[in-house]
Structure 1
Amino acid sequence: MKKVIGLLTAVGLMASPQVLAGTVTVSGSTSVAHVMEVLAENYQNVSNKNVEVQSTGSSAGIRAAKDGTSMIGMSSRNVKQSELSSDTKEIVIARDGIAAAVNNANPVKNLTQEQISKIYRGEIKNWSEVGGESRPIVVVTRENGSGTRGAFEEIMKLQRTINGHKVTAIIPTAQVGNGNGMIKTIVANNPYAIGYISLGSVDDSLRAIDVDGVAATDDNIAAGDYQIARPFIVLMDKNAPSTAQDFIEYIMSADGQGIVASEGYIRVQ
């Protein structure tokens, strides 16, 4: 388990960054938080400055950066122009794959993007339709507001338009897990489940399947061969305190990007 650096309380989130003098406040995507906590811990060791990280989801992190309740917001999906102010800066700090993950006991090793999309739409309902056992597929998805869910739906074309509004096409009977950890627990304990998680969160408790015959690896993502991938973005006001800007500079430095790579993500420089 990675050490969580000074989780913010609800009261802390309601305070402005200026009140938390000397502390860099970061909130948002649970996927980005996985590496951000490690970056924060290392930065604290070398700078003696405190960084507080909270997992609140990408949409909440974007709002927090925009309204100033956090100095830095985290998003694991592309940010819409309507979610930004003219003073908001976006910085891509890493790239990550989204793994389609199954239980270690599942014999299915490869699925196409089309098959995965059909599974999540409810058009493929049994593992026997894709080379597995004759068992119903248990579909597992992330909660609304999750950056991982937003990116997955966009990449896998799991959105439809109703009355001019985009809505999810994922079957309503899908089990919902809040965060990568819960998705991993559900899939690791159900041999007939499929879920999607940040590639950097994959461990021995479950298995990332190949997609279109391509393994979910850093090299394949960097080469553009593995298609289910997204950026890790931080957002900050152009007039943010120098302490927040210093932390971003550390993340983008050779040391910071080395940590990004060591945690299983793709460095951007």
Structure 2
Amino acid sequence: MNLTYLELRCPISGALLRFVTHLMLTLALVCGTAHLAGAQTNRAGEFVAVGATTIQPIIAHALETFMPGTQLEPRLEGGGSSAAVPAVRSGRADIGMISRSLLPNESEELASVTIGYDALAIIVNSMNPLDSLSVEEVRNIYTGRRRSWSGMPSWATEIVVVSKQIGRGTLDVFEEYSGLVSPFHSDISGEGRELIFAEAWEAGGNLDSILWVGGVPAAIGYVSLGEADRFIELGHPIKKVMLDGVAAELPRVADRGYPIRRELNLVYRRDNIQAVAFAQYMLGKEGQDSVRELGFAPRSFGELSE
């Protein structure tokens, strides 16, 4: 499968570019393409999954064992959680990937399964001496009230705030946790909530945020915990900070000690035989192994202690 899902929305530094070649080659085996091919309904011979880039590596891994014998070619596309339901509804995709709880209309319209759980990790560059933040400190940074790292303690340099684009499940979860909302929602009147700093960089997929924070020493962002752990293991210069003294680790997600947890959901049409079969496969041992091996919490939290 091709890998084409960097969704950059601001200039990047030379330091970022030096990471790209190595990381793209590493990710090529585990990430699908996010090249959106338009409203394509003639998908003969393909099995298509569209949506949250957080879930893409899990599905790519699972498809390696699910697809042999089906005579279908897998194709993965990004676009964020908001792209999942329209793609499945129109028949352009077999599976939609949504990295948040389903909205009532989504669960009524389509069949769905929760394949596992993730958390949001707040990440900073590994050069940053910061180890922990409170929810109030996160709010102060993301509203722009706190503009410098000095006195937190950290060092006297201006904070580079990295947020997410509208339609991303990661943004939805961050908004719920922080009580803030993006200023770019089409209608935010009457919300009664503070706005995320309008000058924040807007990332698309997790990869964007991870590259930016890893390449800009003063940056802060929020990404999938599973993806953060995977890139830290690859040696990318980012680190996770504790929230209210609780480490961003799977066992603390499992016991609900960590404050930002989210569902990983698949949606599909009930009359799509291959999609139904794949959804059931993801609930079985091999599918759950893919969830676990990619660094996410399996559907059954009891498996974490095995």
TM-score when normalising by structure 2: 0.79
- Aligned counterparts of 2:75 and 2:178: Cα–Cα separation in 1: 33
Relative distance call for 1:109 and 1:36 in structure 2 (3 A) is: same
Paired residue for 1:231, among 263, 276, 298? Answer: 263
Query: What one-letter code is carried by the residue in structure 2 that aligns with 1:3?
Result: L
- Aligned counterparts of 2:174 and 2:39: Cα–Cα separation in 1: 30
CA-to-aligned-CA distance 1:48-102 (integer Å, 9 cap, x gap): 54332111111011221233221211111223224x2744112111100111000
| Structure with the bigger percentage of strand | 1
Q: Does 1:15 align with 2:40?
A: yes
Percent of paired sites with the same residue: 28
- Aligned counterparts of 2:92 and 2:193: Cα–Cα separation in 1: 28
Q: CA RMSD of the aligned region, Å?
A: 2.3
- Count of matched residue pairs: 264
State the match for 2:61 in structure 1.
38
Q: Does 1:94 align with 2:126?
A: no
Relative distance call for 1:48 and 1:252 in structure 2 (3 A) is: farther
- Aligned counterparts of 1:8 and 1:162: Cα–Cα separation in 2: 29
Q: Does 1:123 align with 2:141?
A: no
- Aligned counterparts of 2:32 and 2:168: Cα–Cα separation in 1: 22
Paired residue for 1:214, among 243, 246, 253? Answer: 246
State the match for 2:287 in structure 1.
256
- Aligned counterparts of 2:62 and 2:243: Cα–Cα separation in 1: 30
Give ranges in structure 2 of 5+ residues lacking alignment.
1-26, 301-306
Query: What one-letter code is carried by the residue in structure 2 that aligns with 1:14?
Result: A
Paired residue for 1:184, among 191, 207, 210? Answer: 210
Contact 2:99 2:265 in 1 (8 A): yes
- Aligned counterparts of 1:85 and 1:231: Cα–Cα separation in 2: 13
- Aligned counterparts of 1:164 and 1:184: Cα–Cα separation in 2: 33
SS at match of 1:130: coil
SS at match of 1:171: coil
- Aligned counterparts of 2:74 and 2:192: Cα–Cα separation in 1: 36
Paired residue for 1:198, among 201, 224, 228? Answer: 224
Contact 1:215 1:226 in 2 (8 A): yes
Deviation at 1:47, TM superposition (A): 5.4
Contact 1:97 1:229 in 2 (8 A): yes
- Aligned counterparts of 2:39 and 2:197: Cα–Cα separation in 1: 35
Relative distance call for 1:6 and 1:102 in structure 2 (3 A) is: closer
Query: What one-letter code is carried by the residue in structure 2 that aligns with 1:181?
Result: L
CA-to-aligned-CA distance 1:190-213 (integer Å, 9 cap, x gap): 111101111111123110111111
Deviation at 1:164, TM superposition (A): 3.7
SS at match of 2:217: coil
- Aligned counterparts of 1:224 and 1:52: Cα–Cα separation in 2: 34
Contact 1:153 1:168 in 2 (8 A): no
Query: What one-letter code is carried by the residue in structure 2 that aligns with 1:67?
Result: S
Give ranges in structure 1 of 5+ residues lacking alignment.
none
State the match for 1:169 in structure 2.
195
Deviation at 1:131, TM superposition (A): 1.1
Deviation at 1:118, TM superposition (A): 1.7
Q: Does 1:57 align with 2:80?
A: yes
State the match for 1:148 in structure 2.
170
TM-score when normalising by structure 1: 0.89
- Aligned counterparts of 1:36 and 1:89: Cα–Cα separation in 2: 17
